[in-house]
Amino acid sequence: MTVLHVDMDAFFASVEQRDHPEWRGKPIIVGAGPHERGVVSTCSYEARRYGVHSAMPSRTAYALCPNGIFVPPRMHAYQEVSDIAFEVFSHYSPFVEGVSVDEAFLDVTGTVHLFGDMRTLAERLRAEIKEKCGVTCSVGLAPNRLLAKIASEQNKPDGLFIMPFEPDAIRAFLAPQPVKILWGVGKKTADVLAHYGYRTCADLQNADPRFLERILGSAAAESIRNHAFGIDNSPFPSEEAEEKSVSREHTFDEDESDRETVRQTLLRLVEEVGRRFRREERWARTGKLKLRDAAFNTITRQARFELPARDDITFRHLMLDLFDKEWPPGRRRLVRLVGFGVTDITDSPEDPQPSLFGPSPLAEQMKKRERLSAALDALAQRRPR
């Protein structure tokens, strides 16, 4: 398999600099205002030089970078550029797995030959993104998703890196890398591993599997040790699988303990899922919430909608209900990854309680919500960039 990972560079901030040429080369911080209670969504590379990073409180960002330009998010603009980018991705593979609005995996196993070689394919994709979106992206190529993700981080921003494909070469490449480069190793897990002397992938490659199980648990130990060798057996979604569900995930740069930050991230994911879902005439019967902690323990919760749904309001209500039950206010927890998706898809709405007087009140309410979501989608498409 040949997997290509695309990561749009400082995406929100890059779109702002594209639309405001006078901001190019300056520290742009997208998120809450400098004196508001809120967090940084993303920031330009100029701001990162001051120590600013995503999920940081905006007041802290201001203290680090008082000359930064603080910009409220314009999700409609970012979504518009994302839609163009995903259209570009489809030119290089029929198998595109969107991770978020600015990140995707492509299975290019069957299309590399159309472009000559991997490097040519990747360079053409990067050039087309720059031409049609006006922003840059970083690309990694590898034999699986884990390694492709790691590869795309090697030459950021606006870079390309091709990972070794031979097992011995992969092991040698990963050996000196810090353990935190691996999926499933957040700050908490990295601290536990460091306590026992495991700081690099080589340390994990040479570790006693039984001892790792004792300190991490069997599931996390097996997964993390496999990752240290570059082994990732997670399947790539096929076109058929893509039809059965629509989902989005977000991995935090560091383990996140702020409940409101996680909640707002999930609300953004719901909006992304809704817009992508409504590209086709379909309804979902079930919504799913995913939370993954630093130890690679994954919690999945799901519930059925009262009626098949395709609007943001219904999706949002179900997600918030699941989230509040799993993480009630006042409870402490750390999460590394969050996700939301809809599944159990049907091609028509249903009203289980028809009457002589027409559709039920619930069905009428759903139709109004659908019209509102469709109107907002259309408005976002018409707004100038």
The confidence score (pLDDT) of residue 384 equals 47
103 is catalytic: yes
How many alpha carbons lie under 13 Å from residue 356 in its C-beta half-sphere? 0
Is residue 184 a contact partner of residue 224, using CB atoms and an 8 Å limit?
A: yes
Q: What domains are defined for the chain? A: 12-75 (3.40.1170.60), 76-161 (3.30.70.270), 168-228 (1.10.150.20), 239-382 (3.30.1490.100)
Q: Is the pLDDT of residue 385 over 80?
A: no
The confidence score (pLDDT) of residue 239 equals 47
Mean residue pLDDT of the chain comes to 89
Which residue in 80, 97, 103, 271 is the catalytic one?
Answer: 103
The confidence score (pLDDT) of residue 237 equals 66
The confidence score (pLDDT) of residue 154 equals 96
SS3 (DSSP) at 207? coil
Query: How do residues 56-98 score in pLDDT, each as one tens digit?
Result: 999 999 999 999 999 999 988 998 899 899 999 999 998 898 8
Per-residue pLDDT band at 375 (split at 50, 70, 90):
confident
- DSSP secondary structure letters along 223-264: HHHHHHTT---PPPPPHHHHHHEEEEEEEEEEEE--HHHHHH
Query: How do residues 345-366 score in pLDDT, each as one tens digit?
Result: 888 776 555 544 455 677 777 7
One-letter-per-residue 3-state SS of 122-190: HHHHHHHHHHHHCCCEEEEEECCHHHHHHHHCCCCCCCEEECCCCHHHHHHHHCCCEHHHCCCCCHHHH
The confidence score (pLDDT) of residue 374 equals 78
Dist. CA 368–CA 311, nearest whole Å: 9
Range of weakest confidence among 8-22, 141-155, 272-286? 272-286
